Structure 1
């Protein structure tokens, strides 16, 4: 690394005290999830919420040059459903700067046991305070199913709520240790997003995979104080329940990739190719593949040893 890069990806002593301990790294390796110490200040989260308020009002610092085929892009005309908006880190300069905090990247690098972490995707999420809203229920799934064109099994997600997040407002819930399960032989199109599938189908898939592995399903709701972050492995089953609070549940799911991750071709059961949204946006590698290291869309947030 150059001196400039080394400075860009450095931590203060106070930040180093917020890194996971060896015992916590072992916990992540065994259980597939980790609740951090306070990585974001109240001021940073206030700025993030303000930036996303403006985002919902229509402000963009820049827009995607091409609309990907399966872009999550809630608009006011969609009504009071759960909102999902991809590429927040690209379209909002303020949000992108906060989400690229080196401390967050350093924590992810330790968990993934890598020396480079890049953004893979960012999704702005809002669960409206409507107890019976069906879209607020996120069924059991794991993220790697939707990232079949990625070579890495070290990818992970940082779930960043803007406020205290608990069972009442539908916090993220992990299926403990499920990242270590053997998966049932694929016979269906697992690359279809959970929003395109029936919840009962995904519930059954979870139960079938647990039975296949001879284990019980242990569900762990993650109580997240403001400023703390929940991380989970790309193969950890997770979901979330209804928002029973009187205010929206607001968060960003920041999907992260290790430095070794790259594009690979992947086909569905019927032979048609799987396409991730990046594939129509990012630059190409010398051999013509989509480049998942394109800094425009997949910027680094940590490089070097921690």
Structure 2
């Protein structure tokens, strides 16, 4: 069981938290670039653990394979790799991602007293510019989290190295988390990997026009050890990797303590199913429990 002492920061760590002005900036723009939260040693350890993961090392496996699991394996070839639940399957990866400082930053941005892991996706973008999967089209994460009750969820994007436009860093659409969404009649729960990139580009433009806004693209240069955070409704994407080395990162999706499962339906009337819904334990009334400590461990709990 996690104890209260695990949710304390040192004086040096507290100095790395966002200021009230920076929190206000996040609420206005939908994204935030942190100070340095991870050391070279932590990132070296994290990268070594992911290499072992790619070689097949697992401390444990999911009890059930979810219907839409991202799970790259060598037979898939030199495409962009996505692997979900790495925080659960690898003790070494999970130990670093559960750093309380990361949760404390997220808590301030989300204006929440508690932050839990929602999902952790290991990403490897190979240096193959012409590979179509290397370009991530515009989307926002809440599209895929419609079974979550919270509107405060956010994502921490943690590269293992300096991340710039050349190697396909994440790019935000400034202020888009405050837009009202245009009802296009499409099934927005379909993952971007299964949708046409030009279709999503046009959908972004239509949503901007609907809100009377301009599409302002903000590439995020992220120095090693720093972390980019974005709101669950912030449109984002990334370009191809034009560098000579892979772009490695973890996309750590986070939920506030108030988040719970809620039933959601697709336009065709079918029930939306998130991967957690077949993996996590059940609540007393039979719903998927998004506070399952094995799958969704707590990163931070404390007064704001």
Q: Report the TM-score, using the length of structure 2 for normalisation.
A: 0.99
1:91 is matched with 89
- SS for the counterpart of 1:202 is helix
1:7 is matched with 5
1:75 is matched with 73
1:151 is matched with 149
2:54 is matched with 56
2:254 is matched with 256
Equivalent-residue separation in structure 2 for 1:162 and 1:74 (angstroms): 19
Which residue of the other structure, out of 193, 202, 205, is the alignment partner of 1:204?
202
Which residue of the other structure, out of 188, 191, 209, is the alignment partner of 1:190?
188
1:278 is matched with 276
Q: Does 1:298 align with 2:296?
A: yes
1:160 is matched with 158
Equivalent-residue separation in structure 2 for 1:305 and 1:205 (angstroms): 39
Equivalent-residue separation in structure 2 for 1:137 and 1:52 (angstroms): 22
Q: C-alpha displacement at 1:131, in angstroms?
A: 1.2
Structure 1: unaligned runs, 5 residues or longer: none
Structure 2: unaligned runs, 5 residues or longer: none
2:135 is matched with 137
- SS for the counterpart of 2:249 is strand
Equivalent-residue separation in structure 1 for 2:302 and 2:149 (angstroms): 21
Q: Does 1:225 align with 2:229?
A: no
Equivalent-residue separation in structure 1 for 2:171 and 2:184 (angstroms): 24
Equivalent-residue separation in structure 2 for 1:28 and 1:219 (angstroms): 15
Q: Report the TM-score, using the length of structure 1 for normalisation.
A: 0.98
1:122 is matched with 120
Equivalent-residue separation in structure 1 for 2:94 and 2:8 (angstroms): 18
- In angstroms, what is the RMSD of aligned CA positions? 0.9
Equivalent-residue separation in structure 2 for 1:93 and 1:205 (angstroms): 40
Q: C-alpha displacement at 1:305, in angstroms?
A: 1.5
2:174 is matched with 176
Equivalent-residue separation in structure 2 for 1:266 and 1:201 (angstroms): 24
1:41 is matched with 39
Q: C-alpha displacement at 1:186, in angstroms?
A: 4.7
Equivalent-residue separation in structure 2 for 1:131 and 1:185 (angstroms): 34
